[in-house]
A and B are shown apart, each in its own frame.
Chain A
């Protein structure tokens, strides 16, 4: 109520100057995305016309850092947001009305796990134990990358509390490593492929698959309000996205798919050819989400356990 009053006040004050305020059409869905490879199945489904066949129009709103996804969902700016499992569980802990509507990314096979802990080749660092007293670069503290970096350090004999975590954006991790501002960096694709192609850097571990093979890293999120009020739309979205996921899995590495990725990430196609794209899951895997939840408890990201299953849209299971 307070939110809607505030919106009206600000809207009346400034709306006139802004021109037309966009009105939401019946079957138009606004989806917040991060322009990274993870959301390729969504773009594949758009491109192949799967959403159109369901009578849905997807309006993708990219946000580079991904920081506005869940706040935007709460504010009603988006119907669905692409986010990671840690952000979802953190939001759930804070009492935010959040639900997983569809699967996003999963690290199912060791050979498909491209993201890696990267160090300078001459650093002599090989395990988490070696990182004690050193600096590890992560894109954001208290989030998914940070969590699995800590878990891997622990799993490889180190004390995660004796490591300093420094926030460095993904594209700058390589420079930070080279300039010795950090001693290791948890890199994701495509940056990890570029860095490890150079002899000065090497991957020492793949934290996701080492710590938790099968981890559901990313997911499409919505609110329970959306699932209750627009059940058919939710089902249509999931159905079309699943067809997009199947198309993506069947076409990984092919020129039409690389064109799609390049289209929304703006990354050069030649560069994308060097990237190993892992398969996307068709279902959300509650036991995996529970494992992540327990890791979060261990690392004091969560205060109390969360019942995971009710957070997941039953059709996505």
Chain B
């Protein structure tokens, strides 16, 4: 009876949803943009009318001009590409190590006893905090930044791999064992695919961290990339290109996340079901 009542209600809401689709959806979408537009207008007004009195607070229109100029001249493209290159290498290294070590500890008790304590000790250390120490071993060039990014990405991927493997249905593993499938094959064909959604979630967390840590390490020890450029422009008293770089950074982060979601949907369509 309850079920019968529910169905028509759902249908009616669906019908009204379809009827209102175009204007409602547009209004809903615009709502988000309107808030951004209002905030930008407030920014512009606060700088133009001197509500915020600071040489570090340019009108947003100036920032937009700097943004266009920066991308048109290719300067921001080069900087973004340089940051993304460092990030991608660090991210790939961090994810690969995280998955490999997570899988090893997940399936091997001895590895768990040997490695888990050291991982737990190192985990709370924020990667940027060890930059000065790492400089002594790695110098100040790309290797340093890549290792810092890899370290930061390692932990979320490692922990998610571990919990993903722990959560794999024991029946799956036992079925594999019944069929006398080798341990390596069980890992690559049964355990890892089953743990993949959790690993992917860890990788998605890591990609956000990777961008932030790349930029921080460029700010601390950089001669190139968006992080260095932001600090350089800050010291050169040129806030417009500085904010243009920050906006480019935020857009890059947003696009990376969207790209990850799109890839997730394509390769792991069962996520979220």
Name A residues whose Cβ lies closer than 8 Å to a Cβ of B. 3, 6-7, 10-11, 13-15, 17-18, 21-22, 32, 35-36, 61-65, 67-68, 71-72, 74-78, 169-172, 174-175, 178, 190-191, 194, 265-268, 271
In contact, B223 and A18 (Cβ under 8 angstroms): no
Q: How many cross-chain pairs have Cβ atoms below 8 Å apart between A and B?
A: 115
A-B contact list, 17 entries, CB within 8 Å: A14-B93, A17-B89, A32-B140, A35-B235, A62-B223, A62-B228, A64-B234, A65-B220, A67-B220, A72-B135, A74-B136, A75-B140, A77-B141, A170-B235, A172-B56, A175-B56, A268-B236
- State the majority secondary structure of interface residues on B: helix
Give, as a whole number of angstroms, the nearest-CB distance from B103 to chain A. 18
Task: Select A10's contact among B54, B138, B238, beta carbons within 8 Å.
Answer: B138
Chain B residues with Cβ under 8 A from A191's Cβ? Answer: 237
Q: How far is A11 from B137 in the complex, measured between Cα atoms in Å?
A: 10
Which size bracket describes the interface of B in this complex? 20 to 34
Interface residues of B (CB under 8 A from A): 53-56, 89, 92-93, 132, 135-143, 146-147, 150, 219-223, 228, 231-238
Across the interface, do A18 and B146 meet the contact criterion of CB distance under 8 Å? yes
- Chain A residues lying within 8 Å of B137, measured Cβ to Cβ, are 3, 6-7, 10, 75
Q: Would A68 and B138 be within 8 Å (CB), given that A178-B53, A266-B232 are in contact?
A: no
A64 pairs with B135, CB closer than 8 A: no
Residues from chain A with a CB closer than 8 A to the CB of B132 are 67-68, 71
Question: CB distance A171 to B234 under 8 Å?
Answer: yes
The answer to whether B140 and A17 touch across the interface, beta carbons within 8 angstroms, is no
Contact for B141 among A22, A65, A71, CB less than 8 A:
A22
Q: B143 touching A14 by the CB < 8 A rule?
A: yes
Minimum CB–CB distance for B238 against chain A, Å: 6
Given A63-B221, A172-B56, A72:B235 Cβ within 8 A? no
Contacts of A11 in B (CB 8 A): 143
- Complex contact B237–A169 (CB within 8 A): no
For residue B139, which residues in chain A have a CB less than 8 angstroms away from its CB?
Answer: 7, 72, 75-77
CA distance A178 to B92 in the complex (A): 45
A265 touches B236 (CB 8 A): yes
